[in-house]
Amino acid sequence: MLYLVPSPIGNLQDMTLRAIEVLRSVDVILAEDTRTSARLLAHFDIQKPLSPYHQHNEHRILQHLVDQLVAGKTMAVLTDAGTPGISDPAFLLVRECIRNAVRVECLPGATAFVPALVNSGLPINRFCFEGFLPPKKGRQTLLKQLSAEPRTMVFYESPLRLVKTLDELAQYFGSERACSVSRELTKMFEETIRGTLQTVADHYREKAVKGEIVIVVGGKPD
């Protein structure tokens, strides 16, 4: 059995009772960062073996993990914040588990893009999640394609690249396209800034930015 266990994106009270119960029941916890996960487990008094599982080793250890699961071990995947597989490792392991008839169960829980999307005030009946834009190769091609996307779009971004990305979105989508930026979700200094791509970019051009960031952009108007 493989469990995908969401972890809080900031506020520890967002950890579900079921997630705590599952983490206490498994044989081993696969952790994106064992130091981060160790602090979380200590807070909830969970004592289980931690094994590193991240983008730099997931290909190398994949077959070993599947072999252990097929042999009867129960594991949980725990990424640093949010739901495993959403811009975090998990997809490869899930796919191989399904191919090998290992049961997979994803618990509901914290993920950054949902509150940011709902908070944006933009249409959410139809949307597309793009995660992090490619840093270089394929970036311009993707932005050109997305400029015609009619659905609301959701992106993740780092503080250091926020203004650059907003400027590029304005260049390809038009500076007056509606936009919302949420950062530090569930934390003490949570904020959501709404406006056009131009006004939001100008806002962040004048201040230092910290924390994880979600950009929500309106689709191309009819």
> How far is C-alpha 23 from the geometric centre of its chain's CA atoms?
20
Does 222 have pLDDT greater than 90? no
Does 16 have pLDDT greater than 90? yes
Global pTM value: 0.93
* Model confidence pLDDT, tens digit, residues 21-80: 999 999 999 999 999 999 999 999 999 999 999 999 999 999 999 999 999 999 999 999
Which fold, 113-217?
3.30.950
CATH superfamily of 2-106: Tetrapyrrole methylase, N-terminal domain (3.40.1010.10)
* Model confidence pLDDT, tens digit, residues 190-221: 999 999 999 999 999 988 899 899 999 999 99
Contacts of 109 (CB under 8 A, 6+ apart): 5, 6, 7, 14, 15, 16, 19, 83
Q: Where are the domains of the chain?
A: 2-106, 113-217
Quickly list H helices, the chain. Answer: 17-25, 34-43, 58-70, 91-99, 113-119, 139-146, 162-173, 197-205
Give the model's pLDDT for residue 151.
Answer: 98
Query: Going edge to edge, which strands form the sheet with 2-4?
Result: 50-52, 28-31, 75-78, 2-4, 104-106
* Model confidence pLDDT, tens digit, residues 145-161: 999 999 999 999 999 99
